[in-house]
Amino acid sequence: MSVATHGAPVAGRNTPLIFLAVLTVFTLLVVAAGNGSRGDLEAEPDSVLPIPKQNTTSTTTTIVMRVADTKETIRYNLVADVAAGLRNVLGFYRNELDKRGWKEIDEGAILQPDRVQLAFTSPDGPGLLKLGTANGRTTIELGQKLSAAAARSGMVPEPGHAKLISEGLDGVDVSVSIDGQTIKVARDSGERKSSTFTIDLPPGKFPYSLEFAEGPQRGRPIEIATGDTWGITKTLSGELMAQHLY
């Protein structure tokens, strides 16, 4: 399944920018064998991010930015679960990520019996691993940012900040309200005639709304961490949707 949002240049930029989210979804029926030790967990071959073969479900998302005629992959994200203990899954990821040159960061690490959150450095950019438990399984979320590609596509926030962008908002004038700011965005006069904006934000959780000619529309609050970039677009049903891009 693929989702593409097409739009005009971000305010203040001269090149068209499009973000694409490419999702690969696998669903497997697995009968758990053995005791779920690290030795029982094997990695899927040729996967962008490490995935245990024994996973019950997994979804890999690739975020691609298009600037003019160039496509840049800026982020990978994996969501999965597996019928194995959290400690064993943690051992699997420490082993597999070390093979790929990822280095664990002690600062901010969370290591609890039912919850793990670890940040990493990697040759291509920062990574974040989150493990939890649900319905007798270990849940997995693993993300990797590709820093050089993100910088080339203008998706890296200012130091200590986060970024919010949007594409393709009906091709009309719109006002964006978030974090006590209201920003008026005029539609692009080019062929696509879309309303686009980019806003630098401090990290935090923010409700937001967009004011269209027919009235205001609120989106679900979004929680943005330092260094993150999120995008807002409209779904085919007309609802606002926020997506973690970088």
Does residue 100 sit in the same domain as residue 194?
Answer: no
Q: Would you say residue 18 has pLDDT above 80?
A: no
Does residue 167 sit in the same domain as residue 131?
Answer: no
Q: Would you say residue 1 has pLDDT above 50?
A: no
Residues in the chain: 246
| Least confidently predicted of 103-107, 133-137, 184-188, 203-207 | 184-188
Q: Would you say residue 62 has pLDDT above 80?
A: yes
Does residue 123 sit in the same domain as residue 26?
Answer: yes
Residue 197: phi and psi, rounded to 5, are -145, 160
Over range 213-241, report the average pLDDT: 83
Report the 10 Å Cβ neighbour count for 223.
13
Q: Would you say residue 134 has pLDDT above 60?
A: yes
Does residue 213 sit in the same domain as residue 118?
Answer: no
Verdict on whether the full-model pTM lies above 0.85: no
Cα gap 123→149, rounded to integer Å: 13
Task: Mark which of 150, 165, 182 sits at the end of a domain.
Answer: 150
| Least confidently predicted of 167-181, 187-201, 210-224 | 187-201
Task: Mark which of 150, 169, 192 sits at the end of a domain.
Answer: 150
Residue 93: phi and psi, rounded to 5, are -70, -40
**pLDDT score, position 19:** 53
Cα gap 229→213, rounded to integer Å: 27
**pLDDT score, position 96:** 97
**pLDDT score, position 28:** 40
Task: Mark which of 150, 181, 201 sits at the end of a domain.
Answer: 150
Over range 27-45, report the average pLDDT: 55
Cα gap 78→55, rounded to integer Å: 12
Per the structure block, which two tokens stand in for 174?
A: 């719109």
Does residue 144 sit in the same domain as residue 174?
Answer: no
Cα gap 194→233, rounded to integer Å: 11
8-state DSSP, 209: E
| Highest mean predicted confidence (pLDDT) among 10-24, 141-155, 200-214 | 141-155
Q: Would you say residue 73 has pLDDT above 90?
A: yes
**pLDDT score, position 182:** 82
Euclidean distance between the first and the last CA atom of the chain, given in angstroms as a whole number: 20
Contacts of 189 (CB under 8 A, 6+ apart): none
Cα gap 143→50, rounded to integer Å: 11
Per the structure block, which two tokens stand in for 13?
A: 């930029």
| Highest mean predicted confidence (pLDDT) among 21-30, 72-81, 229-238 | 72-81
Over range 229-238, report the average pLDDT: 80
Contacts of 70 (CB under 8 A, 6+ apart): 152
User: CA-based angle 144:149:119, to the nearest 5?
Assistant: 25
Query: How many distinct structural domains can be found in the chain?
Result: 2
**pLDDT score, position 170:** 53
Does residue 38 sit in the same domain as residue 102?
Answer: yes
pLDDT band at 79 (very low <50, low <70, confident <90, very high): very high
Domain around 203:
157-244
Residue 99: phi and psi, rounded to 5, are -60, -30
